[in-house]
Chain A
Amino acid sequence: MADSRILTREEILPLIPQQDPFRFVDEILELSDERVVGRYTWNPALECYRGHFPGNPVTPGVLLIECMAQCGVVPLGIFFSYRDHADEAEKITTFFTEAEIEFNRSVYPGDTVTVESQRVFYRRRKLKIASEMKTEDGTVVCSGTLAGIGVTV
């Protein structure tokens, strides 16, 4: 039987592989095998704001989706990798497989967002979650489903 290790939210954060300038998670606030909550404050110095759009910076939707992944699929995927395959978890990377997201409002430089995600399923190293991103006043920015699959690299 494979080694099993249950990671805490504090242990997960440094294991998220994405780093500056492509890191869009500051904190993991909650973590269990059912749910994960992450938070990120959009850095006004991000290069993308120069062009999206000149004089009117708005966070690109694709980066909001990446933020949902880094606050949801990635940490929960790492959690399951260590729970089910602790002996090889360091070699497992979660690759994005699909997403279906609806956007409700814009996110601006300096905004802090919270991403709340629930597990839909985890089977054969594939994780699908239902996520919702909210601003500090509780307004839903975007919501939908995302999935990733753990691949040994």
Chain B
Amino acid sequence: METTEIQERVVKILTPYVKDQEALASVSPTTNLLEDLKVNSARLVDVVLAFEDEFDIEIADEDVDTVNTIGDCVTLIGQKL
């Protein structure tokens, strides 16, 4: 799967959890989920579970700690596919 397709699907999954919807218009691999998109840290588990369902993968609890940016999400998912 192309990186751009993974990123598009990641952004779509993140959208309902994003508090700063305007920031979604200019996302890049360096966009930070908590600081730039204002995702509540307590919702990261929900986001990761949604990744697992969307991409039919399993993500270890420890791997969630590596997820800070959109690029981190794409890299992690790409490794699991």
Contacts and interface: CB of A to CB of B under 8 A. Distances in A.
A128 B43 CA distance: 11
Contacts, number: 21
Nearest to B42: A97
Describe A's contact surface by its main secondary structure.
strand
Interface residues of B, number: 9
A149 B44 CA distance: 11
Nearest to A126: B45
Interface residues on A, range: under 10
Interface of B is mostly: helix
B24 interface: no
Interface string A111-153: 0000000000101101010000000000000000001010000
A87 interface: no
A126 B49 CA distance: 12
Nearest to B59: A123
Interface of A: 97-98, 121, 123-124, 126, 128, 147, 149
